[in-house]
Amino acid sequence: MPVKTVLVKKWIHENLRCIRTIDDIASVFGVSPETLRKSFVRGERTALSDFVTHERVERAKSLLLSTRLRCFEIAYHAGFSREDVGAKAFRRLTGETMEHFRKSRVGGKDEESTYNGSRSSLNRRDPIYDDILRLASRANR
């Protein structure tokens, strides 16, 4: 039975941080990883792993523009296993580093001078604020 790629894409978008392998996605939909890969390529004309990477880079771009999280934190929140993996994927797909992407779009030197890179620089209006508080409370249990 073919898997509906629209549902797969929606699930990936909503669960990006918890996906580690294609097997994780396949188990949710009750199919083998190979069946999922083939269905996805047929429906979307792109590899499932490429789609997941693209979604993670898009999430990283959004976080770079809307938060003051540091690059290694953004890589984590976008679902990359390590900062260097996220940095390489980001550069491969955008042609620039995360740091350059933020500086070139957020406002140059004026914005740069107010950004201190600390974890405490996150403000309550940032969309990821509640998510970070929830994670911190779980870690402190």
In terms of domains, do 33 and 92 share one?
no
Euclidean distance between CA atoms 36 and 29, whole angstroms:
8
pLDDT for position 124:
47
What mean pLDDT is predicted for residues 103-121? 54
CB neighbour burial string for 90-115, b if at least 16 within 10 angstroms, e if fewer? beebeeeebeebbbeeeeeeeeeeee
Amino acid 2: pLDDT: 65
Distance CA 126, CA 75 (A): 16
Q: Are residues 84 and 121 in the same domain?
A: yes
- Distance from the Cα of residue 22 to its chain's centroid: 15
Q: Is the dihedral of CA 131, 136, 137, 141 positive or negative?
A: positive
- Between the alpha carbon of residue 83 and those of residues 72, 87, 111, the distances in Å are 5, 6, 23
6-13 average pLDDT score: 95
Q: Are residues 36 and 88 in the same domain?
A: no
Indicate the pLDDT class of residue 30, thresholds 50, 70 and 90: very high
Percent with pLDDT over 70 in the chain: 74
The range of the structural domain enclosing residue 99 comes to: 53-139
- pLDDT at position 106 is 83
Check whether residue 33 and residue 89 sit in a common domain: no
Give the total number of structural domains in the chain: 2
- Inform me whether the pLDDT recorded for 130 exceeds 90: no
